[in-house]
Chain A
Amino acid sequence: MRFALNFSDLIPYWDVLAAGIAFTIVLTAVSTVAGVALGTACAWTRTFGPGWLGGLSRAYIELIRNTPFIVQLFFIFFGLPALGVKLNETTAAFLAMVINLGAYSAEIIRAGIQAVPKGHIEAGDSLAMSRLEIFRYIVLKQAFQKVYPALSSQIIIVMLGSSVVSQISAEDLTYAANFVQSRNFRAFEVYVVAAAIYLLLAIIARYILRGIGWLVFPRA
């Protein structure tokens, strides 16, 4: 069998792919910010918060970390409407991403919090800092500095995992690739291009996160 790769059939669809790339980037950026915030809150409940709240976070974290993202996504998009919570595909995609990254980052940040020496917290106490000030200025800062590399790679993993949202027809890069391949039947070429774009996005994201790390934690 002879087969010639033909990438020129993709050119008319560049705008579809560009829209997909934009969606993937926005989805990743928003869920990174919201997810890390959620993760920080959960990490707080597990270390300094009241016991019952910590238990609740633990259940949430374990549940999310031990089930596939696609099942979480289907549950939110198909399952929740049965309870009267109707979400469109874009909202469901954002929600699922935030919930997913929230659980993973909570576990990472908690590890960082627990690595903060007790003496530092006592020192803060002796300076008459409030609980919140101690958490914000002493614990969290060091914790983030310590786990920043792990958090960065988790963000990239979540960005790559976001390709799954195409399955509920949220219009990300994978959705765009599926769309193009259904029009011009150049499946392999489209997916090669899409995979290359994802690779590029992952590499760029790595550099951006490293740059942010340098800015925020100059000594590290």
Chain B
Amino acid sequence: MADFSIWVIFSNLLWATRWTVLLSLIAFVCGGMVGLFILFLRVSRVSVLEIITKIFIEFFQGTPLLMQLFLFFFGLALFGIQVSPWLAAGLALTLWTAAFLAEIWRGCVEAIPKGQWEASSSLAMSFIEQMRYVILPQAAKIAIAPTVGFSVQVVKGTALASIIGFVELTKAGTMLNNATFRPFLVYSMVALIYFCLCFPLSWFAKRLEGKSDVAAAR
């Protein structure tokens, strides 16, 4: 059996980290786009659309991410689609992220004073124009801090993709543990790498929050 030095374990884990990062980016970017779309439907004041998006958000916020991964992994196969861990994990994480971001952003949109809606509609702006030129630019300012904060959840969420066989940092850790029988070392390193990914994001989110608090206090 090959000898695993600490450095070999660590470099293998680092090499697997790229998939964690890539999956996080995919989920966050695609989830952000889908989330924005859902946000538009959610605040559209068309009751059918509002109810549908409400159910969508309730489902993704009210069930475990792990269940969602299983449902996509086993459910898509029923439609005759060849399901790879990539597809299932990417899709599930995207929709999960979208649901949470849509709900976070809805809070930000609703924080905008009603007068802004009324003023813009008195200027004969359509709903899309109101959102695009009046509401979203203001809502975006307060949305930045919680959005960055949520990105930490996305990175941590990708760890669950390991359970459906997606080889990222956690799965690589499990595999290395099986080969080396040094669980304490391996999982410490895995935790350390996650910490290095997440802590800067948390720190940044907290700093942004502090800034907006100061702005609000003025």
A positions within 8 Å CB-CB of B: 1, 3, 62-63, 65-72, 74-75, 78-83, 160-164, 166-167, 174, 177, 181, 187-188, 191-192, 194-195, 198-199, 202-203
Contact = CB atoms under 8 A, between A and B. Distances in A.
A188 B78 contact: yes
Interface in B53-83: 58-59, 62-68, 70-71, 74-75, 78-80
Interface of B: 58-59, 62-68, 70-71, 74-75, 78-80, 152, 156-157, 159-160, 162-163, 170, 173-174, 177, 182-184, 186-188, 190-191, 194-195, 198-199, 202
Given A63-B195, A70-B170, A78 B63 contact: no
B78 A74 contact: no
Given A67-B194, A70-B162, A188-B71, A198 B184 contact: no
A66 B199 contact: yes
Contacts of B62: 160, 198-199, 202-203
A75 to B, nearest CB: 4
B183 A82 contact: yes
A191 to B, nearest CB: 5
Contact of B184 (A1, A83, A177, A203): A83
B171 to A, nearest CB: 10
Contacts of B74: 181, 187-188, 191
Given A62-B202, A67-B156, A191 B67 contact: yes
Given A75-B191, A79-B186, A177-B70, 10 more contacts: A68-B170, A71-B187, A74-B173, A74-B187, A79-B183, A83-B184, A160-B63, A174-B64, A174-B67, A192-B71
Contacts of A191: 67, 70-71, 74-75
Interface residues of chain A: helix, strand, loop or mixed (majority): helix
Contacts of B194: 66-68, 71
A80 B159 CA distance: 20
B199 to A, nearest CB: 5
A14 to B, nearest CB: 18
A75 B183 CA distance: 7
A75 B202 CA distance: 22
Contacts of B152: 65-66
Nearest to A72: B191
Nearest to B66: A163
A195 B68 contact: yes
B89 to A, nearest CB: 14
A181 B70 CA distance: 11
Contacts of B159: 68-71
Contact of A69 (B71, B156, B173): B156
A74 B67 contact: no
Nearest to A205: B62
Contacts of B162: 70
Nearest to B163: A167
B1 to A, nearest CB: 19
Contact of B199 (A62, A82, A198, A203): A62
Contacts of B66: 163-164, 166, 174
B110 to A, nearest CB: 16
A82 to B, nearest CB: 4
A68 B156 contact: yes
The 6 closest A-B pairs by CB, nearest first: A68-B159, A66-B198, A163-B64, A78-B183, A82-B184, A187-B74
B187 A75 contact: yes
B152 to A, nearest CB: 7
Contacts of B63: 160, 195, 198-199, 202
Given A68-B170, A199-B59, A3 B187 contact: no
A194 B67 contact: yes
A71 B67 contact: no
A78 B79 CA distance: 38
